[in-house]
Structure formats: C-alpha cells, structure tokens
Structure 1
C-alpha cells in the first residue's frame, strides 16, 4: 500500500511528481540497494572466468576493480537515460537499469581462461549488440509474436540452469581453488559462510517487511561478510590493503580493452538482445500497471528499448556490461506505490557516484567468494523460478510439449556435455567453427532458436490432438495446471 505521507494518491501515480527531497533520496537509494548485488555480480563472475586474480597484490586487481566500477557507473547512466530521457531515448518512467544475468552464459565462453586478452572481443560484441538492441526499439512491438511465454520462459529457465553451478562453485571456495585442487575447497567452513547468507536472506524475505525485506540479499551478504571476519576467513589487513590500493576517484577510459570483431560475440549479444528487449517490455508494462494502473504506451515501450540498447553500447565502449531493466525494482514500485521517475533519478546519481570512486569497488572485491556464493545461489535460483513461473502461462498441449522437449533437450544437453568436459578433452561441438562452438556452448541460444523456429513452423492443429504418447497420460490440462485442476 502506498504511503500517503509522500503525496496524494494522484501525485504518487504521476511519473513527473517529486516527493520532498528528504524522502525522495532514501527512496532512490532503496532502489539501488534492491539491485546492487545483482548488478556487480556479473563483473565478478566474468573476471573469475577470465582467470583474474582476486588478491589486492594480483596484477589483475586493477582490472577487476575497473569492471566493478563500470558496472555501477553505467547502470546509473543507463538509468538516467530512462528517467530523464534524451529525445526519443528513454521511457520517462522509474526504470532502474543494471547488468543482466542473461548475458553471463554468453560472456563466459568468450573470456574463459584468456585474461585481459579476451576482453577486446567481449566488449566489441557488447557495443555492436547494443547498437542492434537500439534498432530493435523501432519495431519491438512487431516481433513479440515470435517470443511467447513458451520461448521466453524456456530461455529464462535455461539462463538460471546455466548459472546455478557458478553459485555452488563460489560457495565451496571458488573456481581457482577448485582448479588447483586445494584441500579447503568444499570445506565446512566455506559452506558455513554461504549458509549464513542464505539463512539471513530467507529469514528477512519471509519474516521482515519494508526496507529489510527489499534488501534481504544485500543484508545477508553483509552478515556473511561479518561472519568471515569473526572466523578468520577475511582479515582486516586484506580489507585495508584493498582499500589502500584503490584510487579515490577515476574516470572511465574509452576502449580501455580495445575493440575486436568476433562473430560469436556479435551474434550472441544480438540474439540475447531479443530476450532482453521483450523482458523490458514486460517490465515497462509492470511499472505502469503496478504504479499507475494503466497500460504502457507505445512511446514508453519504444523509448525504454532505445535506452536499453544505447546504454549497453555506451557501457561496452568504456568497459561496462550490457544493461537492461531490473525486474526486482518493478516489484518495489508496486510495493511502495511511488511512481516518481525522479526518485529513481536520485538512485541513479548515487550509482554514478559509486562508479567514479574505485574504493567502493575495492570494498566489494573483498567480499569472500563463499559469501558471494550464498547470495548468488538465491539469486540464480530465483532466475530459474522466474522462468518456471513464465512457463506456467503456457497451454501444455502436445504441440507446446514437443517444442519444449526438443529445445530443452538440445540446450541443456549441450550445456552439460560441452561446459563440463576437462580442458583438452573431446566434446560434442569440437568439429564446429570457433564461433559456432562458442555460441552453442551455453546451450541457451540453441534452445532459444529451436523453440522460436518450431513455434513459428509447427501447425496449430497439433494443439487439439491428444498427448498421451508424449506425456504419460497427463494430457489436455489448462495453463500450468495439474490433472484435476479445472482452472485455466
């Protein structure tokens, strides 16, 4: 329920209304707290996949800090594009932008084990993919038919399934510890830090209200951080070393890692742009319905998609990752009842400030990997749950079951087979060109393409036929329903 002390009911539904500054600033920072961990986590994951050292004395330490810094800075800039707008760019709505988990399975194969050398192709793909994403804004409404809940739900579920392994590896001690066969990998001490984060997060989510519930993951990580200090997993010397080695202020550097054209990177980011664009359409609709009780206009949807793409391209030019609208902030607007875009503008300015101060990134870097693992186990699990929730809107007739079965068999099968083989060992895609192999390794793009193509070419007549031969008798049920459920 909306807090009427912030303004009248009519004012709270108006995106152009600004509550009193002393109330608007905390509300804006609340939006940042809701997305902060999710926004910086991809930078840490990609850095880990590239093989960056996480210690403050590591030669890669400045690069890791820079990636974290750019994640915050360009999330803030992309958010300003949405709230303040530039011409047709931006929805003029309280949309919070941030680095999307959806792109992680595309980014990891591009940089795996390559260190800084793998970043030129990565950011080249982000820039060109962002430009393509911007172009999508001109006809986003016309391509939605190709991405029904069957396709988008499958893709989101596959994204979550591709990431859950990362959470477990982090909670056990991190990929470097695993690769070096360190005895402490998977120790009870490591797991205890992750479980502290999980238990605190779940406790706050289910038994707290307001700010505590909204910031449950962030608070869980803070409690886990303190726990590692008490147990000796983290020392004050390590914190001070990281803090002292980081600058107090730094500006972004254009093309810091160069620009390299990689067909795999460009194709991957362009294809994922479709999914991101449709997600943004859903978020814009959720904001206008939850905050103002109306449908989103075509201008708002187009402007939001333009901001997605331009924000991503701009981020890639300076070493940042693709940006998209953050769904958790949509729920926050519905909860607070405050539709003001200027509230989110204050949050964006706070993000920009954090992005210009590398010492903030240095503190984030000191979070033990096991603590971060506890947080991402929850977050990545929620990605899977969100995908399953989207699939509950599907009418599970024979046609849709066949599409889902074939797509997930290929996608998940490739993901498990290719991503889990030892380096140098044979894998199912080894005879394909490098670009095709990288695109297929995540499993997400093959699954998405198969689902899209089958959904477009399979005749609708199949929907009316019996499904016993493929479903074991559980046929003909309503959307997302069980055998004896008559609800549609």
Structure 2
C-alpha cells in the first residue's frame, strides 16, 4: 500500500471512496502541485507570442489569463470527478490547460496583441463544443489512431514547442536582437532550474521527486531575485477577489481558428482516452468502461467551451495525474475534487496570478525546456511500440518531413490564403493528417519473401 492509514486495498481502488479528510486534502493539493506549472504555462506562452505579458503594459491581461487557467482547470476537473448527467468520467481525472493546442494558437496571435485573443476565444468555444460531440462516437475513432499516429502527434507537439523554451531561457521573445538576449546571467538562471529539477527528479523520492519542476522553478526564482530580476510592482496593484468576465477579450469566429481547434480536439480526445485507460489500469487494475471514456470526453469538450466563454484556453486531462495515481495507489475521485476546489480558490484571487507573473521569463524557460523535452520523449516512448517495417517507416518519415518542414519554413506557403497557411504551417496538423490518411490507405506490410524480391534483401536487413 502506497500510504498507510488511508483504507483497505479494496477501498483505495474504489473511485467513490472518501479517505479521511486529514489525508485526502494533502493528496488533493499534491495532484494540483504536480500539474500547476504546466497548467499556467500555455497562457504565458500565448500572451508572449501575441506581444503582451512580462514587462509590457499588457501584464494585467496576462494575470487575467493565468487566473482563468487555474479557475477553469478546477471547474473542468469538477466536471470529471463529480459529473453532471452523462458528462464526466467520475474518476480522479485532473484537467488543465492543454499544450497540444499551442502550435495552432501561436500562429493565430503572433505579434497581433491582445486583440488577437478574440479569435482564440472563438476557436476555443467552437472547438470545445465539437470536442464534446466526439464523445458520442469516440470509441469508433480509435482504430484510425494506432501508436504510430499518436506517437508522431505527441512528438510533433514537443518539436513545435522546443524553440519556445530556448527563447524564454535566453530572455524572451521581446528581447530578441538586444544585447541582453542570451546573456550569461539569463542562461545561468535557466540552468539552475534545469539542474535542480533533474537532481530532485532522479536523486530524491516521494513529494520532492513528484514536485521536481516546481522546486526547480522556486530555486531559479530565488537566484533571479538575488540578481534583481524580480519585480513585485504588479502584486501590490492586484486585487484580492475577481469575478470572471464573459467574453473578456471579445469573440471572433474565423475559419482558420475554428478548423484548427476542431481538428486538434480530435487529438485531445484521443489523449483523454489514453489517460482514462491509464488511470483505470494503474489505479484499479481494470480496463476503462465505455461510459467512463464517453463521459471524460464530454467533460473535456464542455470544460473547454466554458473556459472559452471567459477568455481561458482549452482544457484536457493531464497525464501527470496518471503516474501520480499509480504511485499513491489512491483511486478516490473525491481526493481530486478537493484539489479542484483549491484550484478554483486560487483562480478567484488575482494576487495569486500577480505573484506568478513576477516569475522572470528566464526561470520559466528552464522549466519549459524540461517539460517540452519530456513531451518529445513521451512521443518517442509511444513510437517504441510500433513494428518498424517499411510501411511504418514511410508513413512516419513522410509525415514528419512534411509537417516539420512546413513549420520550419512557413514562407514556402506564402501564396496560400490565410486559413490554409495558418493550419499547414502549424506543423502538427499536416503531420497528423498525413499520418492518419497514409495509415488508412497504404496496404498492409509486405511479407518477408515479397520484401526480399523487391529490395534484394536491403529492407529485410534494415528491419532486422
């Protein structure tokens, strides 16, 4: 048993079991801390891409986005743990702001300021509703998404974001071209975060290992404070309570945003299916039920749509939660409900968001270098389950080449209209689309004899 005194083994595997409050509350907060940094990071990245946030007059809008990230991650988590009718898996699923949508959001807002957030709001709202509809037939989509496709998608998400981590560690996008960009001080602060994170992750156990990224950020923050890189001016001006504002940034429905968010909703839905399966297997030793997968997908979509109404970004289930449940052995959904209430409380207090906004961009850069690297590694891990015959290599190679190539050289599509250009230069969508289509259309692998006849033994030896 992972933690003594919580209950019998049968109780720990029961999602409806409520452990003693004195033990359930710390476990709930632990769930929140394991995803806290990842939850607020997308808002910071989108704001930075748009040109407001750290060190700009628009820092107040960034604080609002951080608050909404926490608030609606908590609301979406409650949809999962408590549920409303068919909505919600009623399992210990933690929801949070999704990294997967960043390759779509960044081109939509790049350099366009706060005004561009209206387009994002429209995309989140439409995409969330579409995502919810997927719950009606999510089980039928799984055949088209084997590990070859899902692994490539996760890898592409990581590859699309690694540049952001390096830019942040060097001083942030606004600093590009200045003398301060890439300075030794900036890199030293980022390296402190990376080294402390890795040290705690691999040389400690328990809460220290689980909270390694958060502890690394705290260490980097302390060093940055010593260098005079931290300002608390915005904390004093922030209020103690905030009511979320519907359509805070306005709303604008564009074809590129709606299509992009709907297409990424399919990927996010499949990710949620994997997380639900992992939680049931790791926490209860059983397969996920159809109603749990369907309910989780409904909650994913409706949670994102509700978040979009208030200017927040799309939500998805957080994979960190899967590993944490396997470690603690506690399957209680009520534990995660307590964590969700803590998130909602933080989201209603602007002081919390203001404090988070004081974190220097270089500190965050060290953290996201680790996080985005782990996203890439997760994709590679999924690809390890693939039988790498000639067919799989062609599907992977062509999809990766086209997707990553268009992302690295967006000017190659400069003559296309805006909507297809934004979707295709995201990198992720063309790679995922090609992989799905090729996987469905290309014939099954050749037999060994057929391969030998065609390639003279080269393919066979390469495969071996």
TM-score, scaled to structure 2: 0.97
What are structure 2's unaligned runs of at least 5 residues? none
Counterpart in 2 of 1:220? 216
Matched, 1:254 2:246: yes
**Deviations 1:287-308, CA, capped at 9 Å, x for gaps:** 0111111010000000000000
Deviation for aligned residue 1:53: 4.0
Counterpart in 2 of 1:87? 85
Counterpart in 1 of 2:6? 6
Report if the CA contact (8 A) 1:399-1:463 is conserved. no
Given candidates 422, 426, 434, the residue that maps to 2:418 is 434
Counterpart in 2 of 1:158? 156
Deviation for aligned residue 1:59: 2.9
Counterpart in 2 of 1:20? 20
Q: What SS does structure 2 have at the residue aligned with 1:102?
A: coil
Q: What SS does structure 1 have at the residue aligned with 2:243?
A: coil
Change (3 A) 1:371 1:470: farther
Deviation for aligned residue 1:34: 0.2
Deviation for aligned residue 1:261: 1.2
Distance 2:148 2:82 in 1: 34
Given candidates 404, 421, 431, the residue that maps to 1:447 is 431
Change (3 A) 1:169 1:347: same
Deviation for aligned residue 1:258: 1.5
Deviation for aligned residue 1:314: 0.5
Distance 1:470 1:388 in 2: 30
Deviation for aligned residue 1:472: 6.6
Matched, 1:186 2:182: yes
Query: Alpha carbon RMSD of aligned pairs, Å?
Result: 1.5
Deviation for aligned residue 1:462: 3.7
Q: What SS does structure 1 have at the residue aligned with 2:413?
A: coil
Deviation for aligned residue 1:117: 1.4
Deviation for aligned residue 1:257: 1.3
Matched, 1:375 2:375: no
- 1:182-331 paired onto structure 2 within 5 Å: 182-234=178-230, 238-239=231-232, 241-331=233-323
Report if the CA contact (8 A) 2:44-2:53 is conserved. no
Counterpart in 1 of 2:103? 105
What count of residue pairs does the alignment treat as equivalent? 462
Deviation for aligned residue 1:461: 4.3
Distance 1:369 1:113 in 2: 18
Report if the CA contact (8 A) 2:78-2:340 is conserved. yes
Change (3 A) 1:140 1:168: same
Given candidates 399, 406, 409, the residue that maps to 1:417 is 409
Given candidates 86, 93, 96, the residue that maps to 2:94 is 96
Given candidates 439, 448, 451, the residue that maps to 1:466 is 451
Counterpart in 1 of 2:355? 363
Report if the CA contact (8 A) 1:397-1:475 is conserved. no
Distance 1:475 1:432 in 2: 43
Distance 2:408 2:16 in 1: 48
What are structure 1's unaligned runs of at least 5 residues? 419-426, 478-482, 484-488
Q: What SS does structure 2 have at the residue aligned with 1:330?
A: helix
Distance 2:163 2:457 in 1: 29
